[in-house]
Each structure stands twice: as C-alpha cells, then as structure tokens.
Structure 1
Amino acid sequence: MFGDLSGMMRKLKETQVKIEETKKRMDTILIDEKSTNKLVQVTVTANSVIKNIHISESLTDTEEISDYLLITLNKALERAREINETELAVTAKDGMPSIPGMDMFS
C-alpha cells in the first residue's frame, strides 16, 4: 500500500513540474488575431499577455479604433484562454494517478 502511495506522490510531483513547464511554454505560444477588415492586428501569448498591437494608419476615427481593438483583443484573449486550458488539462490528466471512481477529466 505504501509503495503505491510513494509512487503516487512521486507522480504528483512530476506532474507539478510538468504543469509549471507547460505554463512557461504558454508564454512562447503566440496568437495573432485580426479585425474583420484587417486594419487592427493584435498578438497575445497563450498566457493572455498582449505582445503587440498594430493599427492601420488608415483608421483615424478613435471610436472606430476602439471598437475594432476591443473586438480583436477579446477574440485573441478568448483563443488564448482556450489554448491555455486545453494544454494544462492535458498535462494534468497525463500526470494524475489513476484512482478508481475519481476520473476528474472525463
């Protein structure tokens, strides 16, 4: 019984390390999003850090810029959240010990 417990604890520690590595890797995954008219472009990481914003010089109306920027940023951040959640869930599932009746990821 204690052999199983120490094995489970070791696997949990390994999983914690893998989760931290996955979180760091999320900083290297870049998500590019463009407005429908392609005049506003943003780049965010999978950890939802805004890395770049490009606004075409042809946009001069500040309200229009604001609208396109909000929509484009929200789309990019939503994609980042989905990628982040998926990657962390896969890492956690792969590292969790098999405990009968406790499949949290099904």
Structure 2
Amino acid sequence: MDLMGMMGKLRETQQKIEDTKKRLDTVLIDEQSTDNLLKVTLTANTKIKSITIDDSLLEDKEQLEDYLILVLNKAIEKAANINQTELDAVTKMDMPMIPGMEDMFK
C-alpha cells in the first residue's frame, strides 16, 4: 500500500471538500409558504441570507412563528440535501476506500 500516495490523495480530497464548502456558500435556496406570505433564502451551507414577511403576518404572532418554522425547516432540509450530495460526490470520487475513513468526512 502506497502510504505517501494515499496521504497526498487524502490532502487533495480535504482541499476539494473545503473548496466545495466555499462554493456551497454561493448556492442559494429559496423557499416560501404556499400562499407566498413568507419567503426565505439561505445558502446550501444553511446560512440565512434573507427573510421576507408579508405585513398581514405581523398581526398574528403565532401564525408568523408557525410560518417561520415550517418554511425555514423546508429550506434547511433542501440545503442539507444539496450539501450532502455535493460532499458525497467529492469524497466518493476521490477517496481511496480505507475502512473507517468515511466517518472522517461527516
């Protein structure tokens, strides 16, 4: 087993993972309530970029809280799926299969 070659490949893969994470900061996910009264935008790294709230929701605190939870959770789920898919693609494509190593990238 070429340990030096494997270590170089590991460093290369770690760099690709970092590059992918940076790129995911530029991937935006837009999500909204079915009636378009609340809209959120976040990155594929789940950083919230914007929240737009229709004035009608400001009159009902409980409804606004429900909307925020629902819409943010949907957006975060989409972002997490994109994030996982992108990172899986990098690690599966470039990593030599070493038992136990897959846990390092989670």
TM-score (norm. length: structure 1) = 0.85
Aligned match for 1:23, one of 18, 21, 24: 21
Per-residue CA shift, 1:51-105, capped at 9, x if unaligned? Answer: 1000011222111111111100000001111111111111111110256x88x6x
Q: What is the alpha-carbon distance in structure 1 between the residues aligned to residue 76 and residue 86 of structure 2?
A: 15
Q: Which segments of 5 or more consecutive residues in structure 2 lack a partner in the other structure?
A: none
Helix, strand or coil for the counterpart of 1:58? Answer: helix
Per-residue CA shift, 1:35-54, capped at 9, x if unaligned? Answer: 01110000011111111000
TM-score (norm. length: structure 2) = 0.85
Q: What is the alpha-carbon distance in structure 1 between the residues aligned to residue 11 and residue 73 of structure 2?
A: 35
Q: What RMSD over aligned residues (CA atoms) do the two structures have, in Å?
A: 1.8
Q: What is the alpha-carbon distance in structure 2 between the residues aligned to residue 38 and residue 69 of structure 1?
A: 12
Q: Which segments of 5 or more consecutive residues in structure 1 lack a partner in the other structure?
A: none
Helix, strand or coil for the counterpart of 1:68? Answer: helix
Q: What is the alpha-carbon distance in structure 1 between the residues aligned to residue 10 and residue 29 of structure 2?
A: 30
The structure with the greater share of residues assigned to helix is 2
Corresponding residue for residue 95 of structure 2: 96
Counting matched residue pairs gives 101
Corresponding residue for residue 32 of structure 1: 30
Larger radius of gyration: 1
Corresponding residue for residue 51 of structure 2: 53
Percent identity over paired residues: 58
Helix, strand or coil for the counterpart of 2:35? Answer: coil
Q: List structure 1 runs of 4+ shifted beyond 3 angstroms.
A: none
